[in-house]
Amino acid sequence: MPYKAPVDISCRKSLATLLTKLMQQLDELSEERTITTKAGQIRYQEFYLSQSKPIIDEIDKVLANHYEFTEEERDFIINYDIKFRLGVEDEGEDVL
Protein backbone atom coordinates (compact mmCIF):
# COMPACT_ATOMS: atom_id res chain seq x y z
CA MET A 1 0.00 0.00 0.00
CA PRO A 2 1.48 3.40 -0.94
CA TYR A 3 2.22 6.04 1.68
CA LYS A 4 -0.78 8.15 2.60
CA ALA A 5 -0.07 11.16 4.82
CA PRO A 6 -2.41 11.39 7.80
CA VAL A 7 -4.71 14.36 7.38
CA ASP A 8 -7.04 13.56 10.27
CA ILE A 9 -5.96 15.83 13.13
CA SER A 10 -6.66 13.24 15.85
CA CYS A 11 -4.52 10.69 13.99
CA ARG A 12 -1.67 13.17 13.67
CA LYS A 13 -1.90 14.14 17.34
CA SER A 14 -1.95 10.51 18.44
CA LEU A 15 1.08 9.68 16.32
CA ALA A 16 2.97 12.74 17.57
CA THR A 17 2.21 11.87 21.20
CA LEU A 18 3.17 8.22 20.75
CA LEU A 19 6.36 9.12 18.90
CA THR A 20 7.43 11.47 21.71
CA LYS A 21 6.64 8.79 24.28
CA LEU A 22 8.59 6.16 22.31
CA MET A 23 11.66 8.38 21.86
CA GLN A 24 11.69 9.28 25.57
CA GLN A 25 11.43 5.65 26.59
CA LEU A 26 14.12 4.52 24.15
CA ASP A 27 16.45 7.19 25.50
CA GLU A 28 15.70 6.34 29.16
CA LEU A 29 16.19 2.59 28.67
CA SER A 30 19.25 2.79 26.44
CA GLU A 31 22.77 2.22 27.69
CA GLU A 32 25.97 3.81 26.56
CA ARG A 33 28.67 1.24 25.80
CA THR A 34 32.35 1.51 25.02
CA ILE A 35 34.50 -1.06 23.27
CA THR A 36 38.18 -0.99 22.51
CA THR A 37 39.42 -2.00 19.08
CA LYS A 38 42.79 -1.84 17.34
CA ALA A 39 41.75 1.57 16.03
CA GLY A 40 40.90 2.85 19.51
CA GLN A 41 37.79 3.22 21.60
CA ILE A 42 34.32 3.24 20.11
CA ARG A 43 31.44 4.62 22.13
CA TYR A 44 27.87 3.80 21.13
CA GLN A 45 24.34 3.78 22.52
CA GLU A 46 22.55 0.43 22.78
CA PHE A 47 18.75 0.35 22.52
CA TYR A 48 16.35 -2.33 23.77
CA LEU A 49 13.32 -2.09 21.50
CA SER A 50 11.52 -5.11 22.95
CA GLN A 51 10.83 -3.09 26.09
CA SER A 52 8.99 -0.50 23.99
CA LYS A 53 6.72 -3.06 22.27
CA PRO A 54 3.50 -1.75 23.91
CA ILE A 55 4.09 1.76 22.52
CA ILE A 56 5.01 0.38 19.10
CA ASP A 57 1.78 -1.66 19.14
CA GLU A 58 -0.19 1.52 19.83
CA ILE A 59 1.49 3.22 16.86
CA ASP A 60 0.59 0.19 14.71
CA LYS A 61 -3.04 0.47 15.81
CA VAL A 62 -3.24 4.16 14.92
CA LEU A 63 -1.64 3.50 11.52
CA ALA A 64 -3.88 0.47 10.90
CA ASN A 65 -6.89 2.67 11.52
CA HIS A 66 -5.48 5.38 9.24
CA TYR A 67 -4.93 2.89 6.41
CA GLU A 68 -8.30 1.27 7.10
CA PHE A 69 -6.81 -2.16 7.77
CA THR A 70 -9.08 -4.89 8.98
CA GLU A 71 -8.68 -6.18 12.52
CA GLU A 72 -7.10 -9.32 11.06
CA GLU A 73 -4.52 -7.28 9.10
CA ARG A 74 -3.68 -5.20 12.18
CA ASP A 75 -3.26 -8.32 14.31
CA PHE A 76 -1.01 -9.85 11.66
CA ILE A 77 1.31 -6.83 11.82
CA ILE A 78 1.45 -6.89 15.62
CA ASN A 79 2.00 -10.65 15.79
CA TYR A 80 4.58 -10.59 12.99
CA ASP A 81 6.54 -8.16 15.09
CA ILE A 82 6.42 -10.53 18.06
CA LYS A 83 7.38 -13.66 16.13
CA PHE A 84 10.11 -12.36 13.84
CA ARG A 85 11.51 -9.24 15.44
CA LEU A 86 11.44 -10.28 19.07
CA GLY A 87 12.26 -13.95 18.47
CA VAL A 88 9.21 -15.34 20.30
CA GLU A 89 8.11 -18.80 19.21
CA ASP A 90 4.46 -19.35 18.33
CA GLU A 91 3.03 -22.64 19.71
CA GLY A 92 6.11 -24.74 19.09
CA GLU A 93 6.92 -23.40 15.62
CA ASP A 94 10.56 -22.68 14.92
CA VAL A 95 11.56 -19.07 14.47
CA LEU A 96 13.45 -18.33 11.25
Task: Determine the average pLDDT of the residues in 48-72.
Answer: 93
Tell me the H-state helices in 30-89: 53-66, 71-80
Q: How confident is the model at residue 47, as a pLDDT?
A: 92
Q: Would you say residue 44 lies in a domain? A: yes
Q: In total, how many domains does the chain have?
A: 1
Q: Would you say residue 75 lies in a domain? A: yes
What residues make up the domain containing 67? 9-85
Task: Determine the average pLDDT of the residues in 29-57.
Answer: 94
Q: Would you say residue 29 lies in a domain? A: yes
Distances (CA, A) of 33 to 6, 39, 78, 87, 95: 37, 16, 30, 24, 29
